[in-house]
Amino acid sequence: MEQLHKVIGDVPKLVICTNASKGLEKSAVFPNAEYRECMRHLYQNFMKHYTSDVFTDHLYPAARSYATELFQWHMKKIFEFAPDTIEYLENHHNRIWYRCGFSENSKCDHLTNNVSESFNAQVKKFKGLLLHELN
């Protein structure tokens, strides 16, 4: 993060979307950034602990909700079925992962970091090469 900060500086309205890796805690380098969690990774981790059609029917729709009321309605359905899931989400997935929680300063409403994942897959073979070796 420090190296990134050297290159881009203090970018206003910066959004950082992570896969909830525990090594990347909220960075002091970008204290004003909005930290989000990739919904695909959250869902993958969540479904390791909880399995039911209730979660399939309501977790992604909650994340896609632009209106707080709709988000809360979906979360209530999940809570009614398994109250401990809310505590699990608060403890293990405490970054912003739902659209109605996104700041209006950012004009990006992506729930996942799939673009980054695709880019990383394409450049994986070039990581570690020196600049002159990229020809």
pLDDT at 116: 78
pLDDT less than 70: residues of the chain: 20-27, 135
Give yes or no for a contact between 79 and 85, defined as CB atoms under 8 angstroms apart.
Answer: yes
C-alpha to C-alpha distance for 15 and 32, rounded to whole angstroms:
9
pLDDT at 48: 92
pLDDT at 26: 55
For residue 38, count other CB atoms closer than 10 A to its CB.
Answer: 21
Q: In 9-113, which ranges are continuous DSSP H helix?
A: 39-49, 53-64, 68-81, 84-92
Q: Indicate the pTM of the whole model.
A: 0.78
pLDDT at 4: 87
pLDDT at 24: 62
C-alpha to C-alpha distance for 135 and 29, rounded to whole angstroms:
33
